[in-house]
């Protein structure tokens, strides 16, 4: 019997469906060895030797794998093809007490390593024909990254606990990401908008065709964006042109081509899924993992639908290119296929060109064929991958562009000459745009001739203000990290998840906004540990890790070169950095003692200096004379405490505002603050439906009479009743409204949802 071990049960099920009798396919359920959580786990004095353990949750699985291995003639390690997958295979060998590589172990059993870029029958069979030894260079690169991150996290984080507050953390890549966000936030805060004006002209041709043009130049000099500073300047120009003579000065037509994009890599997939569907990088990678490992298809069983999703290569295999070209010719026509097969080169520094881009395992498996098989999010992501990969082998789009320059001459006595410009664009041949939709706005301009007179219909001055650079969102942060060469395909999603989970960053209108504690930690690291948050230093470390993977460097010297000065700085800063304490003029509302600024999960607050003897605290809010944070007195309400009848105040907690007794901590009575939506509860008839939040923070809609009434909905009700069964109607996807009852299939189109809570 041949035993095949992979990481996940889904992957095992898919591969098991391809292999016949004589094979057993099982999974390790991810990593089975790791550094201990309770201590550093690295012997710094002995060349940074890591001490791996089998975590408690993996011990039972290791015992089961040992039993299976004892019965097998051959062990085949089929973990993912990247550094992480190679490390998992190596850890399996160590945990199962086997020898490394394609060799015989003590009992004469063969241990083999196979890799593949897609989970298809042909790819698995080809891999089985070409087993290899474990690539210790890739293992070393993964170990080096793990050890580096452990040294930074476990050595620097305790310093933050002692100097700022407990529970903080620092990380080699996460701290650089936070720095990017903090610096952008401060650029936004320091930005001063400038007023500027544009002037548009609605013009009519002799054939009575209207078009719009905008002021672009005066007296032969191109006007920049900020040329017209005020309303007065704009009004003067409009007055000057009231009786002007208008005519076509120049006409330029050009045919331009637009080339298709290369297939997706990890970063571009995460960015586009965020921009198009508002998927987080973590969610995108979860969906991609599901598509890669296999989805149950009617009549086929489990099938892998896309190639490996952690890649920075835009290369496509020759067989995939040939299949794509055949699908294009059959489905869209010969003219839509590129004249010759296209190959792309990655612009990502250190990209592994030997790997493949993310593509469907079969181009003939169109998204429409899978619409009823995949979940809606899976379908969206598969369609995005399929379309971009197929489009990369399609003909370029052909566009016609038109530029009309218009002279405006105020009068014969004036020496001034104003030039207005209109730009138009139409698609002559869509090419790859037939499959891969982009925001290509078509603007059709009328047919005109040079020196043709025009009639002015209206002049419109419009006020604008310059805007600061936007905050980074998840997509643009990934792009910036990639530009700097920081991180690799496997690290983008966990990095963003970490800084959100740590409370250094929060989501604000789909953007990433650093919190007060995030700014504080960043400032401390920038001042005292500049290398840790230096863009070039971090990018250089990524290059060193790549060099280890290529066998050009040994991993221990790389770690030592980093750690020696890092350890010296740590010792120096331990004595040099004072505990971060901000004093205030506020007195404790409980005992009258002075209060100081502390940092909690939700930012700054005032705490009594006698803590823990006194637990008095006050909220802080923005609103000081110079924009600083000031103490916020608790707002007393008319609500009475359910425990003692004392008036209650509004407080802020993990899931928003709530009511608390003014006698806290002697009395710990609380009440939720219900944000009702004007809909009566259909279950009890007396309560109202209110927006509430569960322990995960996810909003839902429940009755205000809870716990007496446990009515709950997870989509916003419209307030109307179903004409079929009289249950509440709820807002659904794509503008639809449907019945909330699981036994009723009533659906209607076209009600606009107004819901800021879900």
Share above pLDDT 90 across residues of the chain, in percent, rounded to a whole number: 65
Share above pLDDT 70 across residues of the chain, in percent, rounded to a whole number: 92
User: Do 295 and 368 belong to one domain?
Assistant: yes
As for how many domains the chain has, the answer is 5
Q: Which of 465, 488, 506 is the last residue of a domain?
A: 465
Distance CA 750, CA 486 (A): 45
Question: Is residue 616 included in any domain, yes or no?
Answer: no
Nearest to 291 by CA among 307, 305, 272: 305
> Does 621 score more than 90 pLDDT?
no
Between 254 and 699, whose confidence is greater?
254
Per-residue pLDDT at 754: 38
Per-residue pLDDT at 627: 40
Task: Clarify whether 308 is annotated catalytic.
Answer: yes
Q: Are 24 and 1 in contact (CB under 8 A)?
A: yes
Question: Is residue 637 included in any domain, yes or no?
Answer: no
Distance CA 698, CA 55 (A): 31
SS3 letters across 413-465: CCCCCEEEEEEEEEEEECHHHHCCCCCCCCECCCCCCCCCEEEEEEEEEEEEE
Per-residue pLDDT at 625: 35
Q: Which of 134, 162, 177 is the last residue of a domain?
A: 134
User: Do 273 and 375 belong to one domain?
Assistant: yes
Per-residue pLDDT at 755: 40
Provide the β-strand partners of residue 439: none
Domain extent for 170? 144-190+470-576
User: Do 253 and 206 belong to one domain?
Assistant: yes
Instruction: Output phi, psi for 151, to 5 deg.
Output: -60, -45
Question: Is residue 587 included in any domain, yes or no?
Answer: no
Mean predicted confidence (pLDDT) in 57-85: 93
Residue 228 DSSP symbol = -
Q: Which region among 117-121, 336-340, 449-453, 588-592 has the lowest average model confidence (pLDDT)?
A: 588-592
Domain containing 495 — which CATH number?
Answer: 1.10.460.10
User: Do 333 and 363 belong to one domain?
Assistant: yes
Distance CA 164, CA 260 (A): 50
Per-residue pLDDT at 422: 97
Question: Is residue 519 included in any domain, yes or no?
Answer: yes
Question: Is residue 584 included in any domain, yes or no?
Answer: no
- 3-state SS assignment for residue 257: strand
Question: Is residue 559 included in any domain, yes or no?
Answer: yes
Instruction: Output phi, psi for 26, to 5 deg.
Output: -140, 175
Domain containing 80 — which CATH number?
Answer: 3.40.50.140
Question: Is residue 459 included in any domain, yes or no?
Answer: yes
Residue with tokens 């809870």: 706
Distance CA 608, CA 589 (A): 9
Question: Is residue 247 included in any domain, yes or no?
Answer: yes
Question: To the nearest whole number, what is the mean pLDDT of the chain?
Answer: 88
User: Do 542 and 528 belong to one domain?
Assistant: yes
User: Do 95 and 164 belong to one domain?
Assistant: no
Q: Of 292, 308, 418, 492, which is the active-site residue?
A: 308
What is the secondary structure of 162-224 as a DSSP string?
HHT-TT----TTHHHHHHHHHHHHHHHHH----EEEEEEEEEE-TT--EEEEEEEEETTEE--
How many other CB atoms are there within 10 angstroms of residue 678's CB atom? Answer: 8
Per-residue pLDDT at 48: 96
Domain containing 340 — which CATH number?
Answer: 1.10.290.10
> Does 181 score more than 90 pLDDT?
yes
Per-residue pLDDT at 756: 36
Nearest to 449 by CA among 205, 717, 676, 637: 205
> Does 103 score more than 50 pLDDT?
no
Contacts of 564 (CB under 8 A, 6+ apart): none
pTM for the full predicted model: 0.78
Distance CA 199, CA 676 (A): 47
Distance CA 650, CA 616 (A): 15
> Does 34 score more than 80 pLDDT?
yes
Domain containing 427 — which CATH number?
Answer: 2.70.20.10
> Does 65 score more than 60 pLDDT?
yes
């Amino acid at each position: 019997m041949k035993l095949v071990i992979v990481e996940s049960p889904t992957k095992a099920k898919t591969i098991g469906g391809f292999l016949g009798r004589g094979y057993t396919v099982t999974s390790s359920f991810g990593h089975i060895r790791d550094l201990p959580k309770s201590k550093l786990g690295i012997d710094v004095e002995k060349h940074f030797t890591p001490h791996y353990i089998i975590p408690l949750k993996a011990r039972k699985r290791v015992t089961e794998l040992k039993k299976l291995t004892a019965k097998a003639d051959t062990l085949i390690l089929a973990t993912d093809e990247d550094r992480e997958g190679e490390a998992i295979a190596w850890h399996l060998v160590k945990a199962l007490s086997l020898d490394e590589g394609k060799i015989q172990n003590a009992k004469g059993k063969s241990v083999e390593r196979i890799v593949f870029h897609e989970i298809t029958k042909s790819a698995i069979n080809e891999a089985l024909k070409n087993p290899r030894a474990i690539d210790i260079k890739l293992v070393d690169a993964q170990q080096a990254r793990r050890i580096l991150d452990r040294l930074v996290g476990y050595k620097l984080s305790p310093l933050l606990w002692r100097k700022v507050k407990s529970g903080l953390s620092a990380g080699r890549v996460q701290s650089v990401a936070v720095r990017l966000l903090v610096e952008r936030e401060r650029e936004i805060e320091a930005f001063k908008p400038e007023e500027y004006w544009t002037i548009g002209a609605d013009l009519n041709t002799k054939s009575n065709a209207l078009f719009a043009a905008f002021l672009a130049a005066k007296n032969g000099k191109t006007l920049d964006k900020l040329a017209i500073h005020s309303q007065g300047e704009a009004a003067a120009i409009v007055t000057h042109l009231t009786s002007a003579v208008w005519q076509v000065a120049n006409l330029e037509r050009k045919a331009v081509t637009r080339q298709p994009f290369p297939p997706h890599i990890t970063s571009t997939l995460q960015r586009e899924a965020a921009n198009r569907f508002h998927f987080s990088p973590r969610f995108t990678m979860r969906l991609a993992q599901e598509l890669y490992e296999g989805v149950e298809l009617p009549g086929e069983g489990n099938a892998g639908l896309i190639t490996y999703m952690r890649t920075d290569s835009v290369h496509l295999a020759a067989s995939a290119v040939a299949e794509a070209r055949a699908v294009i010719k059959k489905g869209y026509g010969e003219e839509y296929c590129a004249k010759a097969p296209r190959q792309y080169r990655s612009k990502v520094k250190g990209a592994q060109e030997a790997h493949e881009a993310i593509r469907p395992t079969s181009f003939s498996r169109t998204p429409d064929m899978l619409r009823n098989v995949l979940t809606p999010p899976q379908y969206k992501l598969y369609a995005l991958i399929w379309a971009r990969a197929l489009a990369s082998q399609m003909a370029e789009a052909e566009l016609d562009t038109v530029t009309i320059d218009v002279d405006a001459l105020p009068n014969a006595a004036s020496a001034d000459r104003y030039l207005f410009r209109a730009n138009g664009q139409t698609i002559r041949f869509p090419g790859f745009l037939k499959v891969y939709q982009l925001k290509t706005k078509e603007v059709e301009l009328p047919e005109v001739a040079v020196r043709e007179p025009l009639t002015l219909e209206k002049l419109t001055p419009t006020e604008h203000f310059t805007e600061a650079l936007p905050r980074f969102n998840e997509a643009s942060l990934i792009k910036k990290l990639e530009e700097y060469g920081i991180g690799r395909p496997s690290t983008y999603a966990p990095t963003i998840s970490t800084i959100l989970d740590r409370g250094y960053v929060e989501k604000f209108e789909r953007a990433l906004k650093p919190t007060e504690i995030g700014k504080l930690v960043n400032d401390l690291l920038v001042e005292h540990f500049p290398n840790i948050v230096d863009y070039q230093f971090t990018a250089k470390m990524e290059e060193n890790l790549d060099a280890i993977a290529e066998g050009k460097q040994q991993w221990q010297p790389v770690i030592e070169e980093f750690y020696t000065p890092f350890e010296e700085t740590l010792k120096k800063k331990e004595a040099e950095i004072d505990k971060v304490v901000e004093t205030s003029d506020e007195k404790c509302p409980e005992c009258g003692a002075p209060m100081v600024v502390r940092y909690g999960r939700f930012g700054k607050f005032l705490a009594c200096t006698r803590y823990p003897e006194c637990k008095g605290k006050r909220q802080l809010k923005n609103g000081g004379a110079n924009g600083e944070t000031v103490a916020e007195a608790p707002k007393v309400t008319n609500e009475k405490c359910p425990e003692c009848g004392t008036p209650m105040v509004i407080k802020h907690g993990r899931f928003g505002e709530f009511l608390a007794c003014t006698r806290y901590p002697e009395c710990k009575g609380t009440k939720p603050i219900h944000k009702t939506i004007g809909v009566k509860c259909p279950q009890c008839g007396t309560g109202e439906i209110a927006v509430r939040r569960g322990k995960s923070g996810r909003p839902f809609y429940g009755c205000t009479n809870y716990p007496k009434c446990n009515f709950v909905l997870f989509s916003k009700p419209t307030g109307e009743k179903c004409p079929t069964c009289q249950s509440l109607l709820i807002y659904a996807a794509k503008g639809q409204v449907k019945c909330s009852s699981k036994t009723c299939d009533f659906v209607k189109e076209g009600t606009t949802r107004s819901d800021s809570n879900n």
